[in-house]
Structure formats: structure tokens, C-alpha cells
Structure 1
Amino acid sequence: MSAKHPQGQDHGHDHAHQGSALPDVALRVKALEDLMIEKGVIERATLDRIIETYETAIGPRNGARVVARAWTDPAYKQRLMQDATAAIAELGYRGAQGENMVVVENTPGIHNVIVCTLCSCYPWPVLGLPPVWYKSAPYRSRVVKDPRGVLQEFGVTLAAETEVRVWDSTAELRYMVLPMRPASMEARSEPELAALVTRDGMIGTALL
């Protein structure tokens, strides 16, 4: 497994689609979407709602369950931090773009945020589809150069003494953030805690 790459250090991405705006699969999917819309099989608004559901509800709920389990089960958390891929698979979440997962934990002194500087590698099994801003060139470049500034734009203001670590995903290695459990929620059940966790919290652009 390759080493971690905080603060945008070079890690030699080797993506087959570096030289094109979209990978071949994405181009084929877009062509199919356009054809379905042109033929009246589906309306663009309906398609947009489906995509939004997978971006914000179905996929991220998987990751939220992983987070809540880690918050409530110390043994599971230990397995998650040691071998995230295997621990996530225990809950039934595995598959393409979910291999070689690494979970990084937020603490009172450390805040983590993930990015893919050369394209948009993303842990689909636990976070669903990547949001548009995650794939955008401004986010991919600016979060490495000015992570605090970018986090402030997302509404996250950190104490000056908090270290910000930026983790650069690759085609072989994908990251997920384990947010800090709210101190006031100690009596909540695992499903109640999972309901608090957001996609952005697991990317690191939100606290939860």
C-alpha cells in the first residue's frame, strides 16, 4: 500500500484518464443519458433527482453507518483504523472503488480533508457518487494550497492550533474521514448517531 500524502505531496497518480476531460466510461454514460433524454425515456429533471439521491442519501448512509459503528464499538473502530477495507466489508459495503480504503480520524488537534488532485477518485461504496464540487478543478487545486480558506468557505472555522491534513486519493488508495463524535450525543443509539453524519463530514468539509 502506498504511503499517505498529506498537504498535496506528489504521489505519482497513474490514472488511465489523466489526459482527457472524462474517462471512457463516463463519456459512454453521458452519451447514454443524452440519448435517453432525447428519446423521451427519461426527463433530465428526473435523472437529476436520481443522481442527487445517490450523491446525498443512499451512498453516504453507508458511510454514516460505518462512522456510527466506530463511535459506539471500540473493537470495530480499532479494526477500522487498522484495515478499513475489511472493517467496512463487515457491514456489507465493498466493491469497485472501495478497495484499499484508509480511514483518517479527526481529533481535537487534527482535522482531515480528502481530495483527488488529478481527477476525482472517491470511495463510492461508502460515500455514493462524488459531488460536483469535489470533481471541480478549483476544489482540487485550492484545498491543497489553502485548506483552511476552503474549509471556511464550507462554513468550517478551525482553531489556529488545529493541524489540517489533506489526503490525496489515488486510483489504488481512497480515504474517508472519521469525524469526532459530538460529546453531547453519548446516550444516542447507533442509528441516531448515523443520522447525524453527513457526506461532507466524511470528506472533511464539514465537522459531522
Structure 2
Amino acid sequence: MRTHLIIIIVLILNLHSFAQTNKKNDNGKFYTIKGLITDKNSKDTLHLVIVEFMNKENKLIKAMRSDFDGIYYSSICSKELIDDSLLIKTTNAFYKQEVFNYKIVSDTIININMDSDSNKTFSKEKFEEYNRLRMYGRGCGLVDDDEYDELEYQRNLKTYKHYCTGQIKKYRSLIDDNAIFSEWILIEK
């Protein structure tokens, strides 16, 4: 009797992912990736290092810069990874450009030590060029229009779905939660 009860409970718990569609739930999970970037020899923190997150096939997921304390902080959707592999590429002037491979299955702290480049092949000018192309080469964002935003907030008609978790929220709820809009997809009705 106890065995049957356990089997029934397991089936009920797994049923929610197959409900109504007969498809397995393919929503992803958010993983928080953070860490400190330092010089391998001197252990000094390196600030404003370009940090690129890529999947196993070198497809760019996200690019960012570490802050003035050498700390980087980002969130990655598990659906963007292949076999839970995350490549982290670091770039800084007078340092070797390096790629690190990690297996990510939960929130992770990854401290990175960079080797200085004695040949200085990645000069300050070359770094600035790389920085301009990598960080700002994707075009400008939309200019905010406060009146339009206020009207949308009051009307609260638009519905959004999170690209990773599948969660659905109204516009006002996203604003109140200080959500990052680039992670939400407008649902057309």
C-alpha cells in the first residue's frame, strides 16, 4: 500500500509538466554568475574588464564589464547553455585574452585570475577598439518617453512573458518590480 501511495505522489508531482499539452515543460532556470577578477601574480583587482558569456558553440549570450572593484554579476538562462557548459571570455588591456570553461547547474561564484601579457600584444588602443565593437556595436537603445511610459503604466493593458521562466506579468507589475525589460517578451493578443 505504501509503495502505491509513493508512486501516485510521484506521478502527480510530475503531471504538472505534461498538463494539457502533453509536452514536457521546457522553461529554463535563472543562474546567477558572479565573481572577482584579479591579476594572477599580484592578486590586485582588475577593474572594467570585458566579460563575455558564451555557450559551448561560442555563441555570445551576454557581454558586460566588471565594476571598479573588479566584480562582475550577471544572470544566465539555462536554456541558453548547451550541456550546462558556459564559456567565460575575459579581455583587458595588457592582459592575455583568456577563455574559461565551466559547468553551470546552479548559482555560481567564479573568481577569475588573469595573466599579464609581457609582450603587451593587447595594447590600450586595441582594447578600446575591441571594447567599442563588443560593448557598443549592437546599436543604441530606445529613448525613453516619460509621458508614454506613464500612460502605459496607467492603462496596464500589455502582457509580457519571461523568455526563460515562462512567467506571465502585466506591464505595471514589471515596472513595480523593477524588472529588466530585455528579459520579457510582449504577448500579442
* Bigger strand fraction: 2
Give the alignment's TM-score, normalised by structure 2: 0.22
Larger Rg, first or second structure (1 or 2) = 2
* Bigger helix fraction: 1
Structure with larger RCO (C-alpha < 8 A, sep 6+): 1
Give the alignment's TM-score, normalised by structure 1: 0.21
